[in-house]
Structure 1
Amino acid sequence: MWSDRYNYYNIQSDPEHTQELATNSVMDALLQTGNFAQKTHQTLSNASHFPWVDITLVKAKDGNFASSTKKTDFINLIAIVCAKGKNIDQQLYIKIFLKVAEKLNWRLYLEADD
């Protein structure tokens, strides 16, 4: 998906979402960066010093998902929406997202690169 205001990233094992990880361990990996704050059992936002970001931990089916009040023990996708603009260095986001992906042994994808 392309937008002039947002970039959409995914962190996942592969294009088919074949690997699942424990939700708690993924949440811990994201929180340990110090750049994100937990909002709900499956969502995070940016810490005050980090540019705007919205992160959702989900169990996708055929690439589709929805947020839920129901907790899930395992996820297969980290869906990320972040700000895009002239004054926002995308490399700041990418460096952090790549570190998280590496820690989980997953990959970072930019949705526009489908």
Structure 2
Amino acid sequence: MWSDRYYYLNIYYDKQLSAEVSTARLITFLQSIPQLMQYGEFEFRNIESFPFTIIFLVRAQSPTSWSDRDTDINKTNLINIVCTKGKKEDFKKIMDVLIPIASFVNWQLVDELTDDEIEDFVLWSPPEKL
């Protein structure tokens, strides 16, 4: 999906969503990030002083076709992110939060569709996936 206002990003192991992590372990990690606050069982949002960000923990069949009911208390195979396309410094702040999350699960951080119409553009990848 493309928007002039938002980035649509994903953190996953691969497009087939072939790897999963413990949802509880991931939630505990996300709760430790001061720029985020938990908003519902599987959702995190930015604190007031941080750029607009929504993070949703999913157990889906596809990174492009899921609903808010595709959640699992035990396993997560997709971390979906919607964040502002505001200023460059805002995106850097957001990346400073998202890269540690991707690193924690050892998965890649992917832009669904760039402004240049590149699909599934890898923004960050663990060293062994490069």
- The TM-score normalised by the length of structure 2 is 0.79
Q: Identify the residue that residue 68 of structure 1 maps to in structure 2.
A: 69
Residue 70 to residue 107, structure 1, CA distance change in 2 (3 Å): closer
Gaps of 5+ in 1: none
Gaps of 5+ in 2: 114-118, 121-130
The count of aligned residue pairs is: 114
> 1:42 is aligned with what amino acid?
F
Higher relative contact order (CA 8 A, sep 6+): 1
Stretches (4+) displaced over 4 A: none
Identical amino acids, percent of aligned pairs? 32
Matches for 1:1-114 after TM superposition, within 5 Å = 1-63=1-63, 64-68=65-69, 71-86=72-87, 89-112=90-113, 113-114=119-120
The answer to which of 18-27 and 66-75 deviates more is: 66-75
Query: Cα RMSD over matched residues?
Result: 1.9
- The TM-score normalised by the length of structure 1 is 0.89
CA distance in 2, matches of 1:76, 1:23: 9
Contact 1:35 1:47 in 2 (8 A): yes
CA distance in 2, matches of 1:100, 1:110: 15
CA distance in 2, matches of 1:5, 1:96: 19
1:87 CA displacement: 6.8
Contact 1:9 1:108 in 2 (8 A): yes
3-state secondary structure, aligned to 1:89: helix
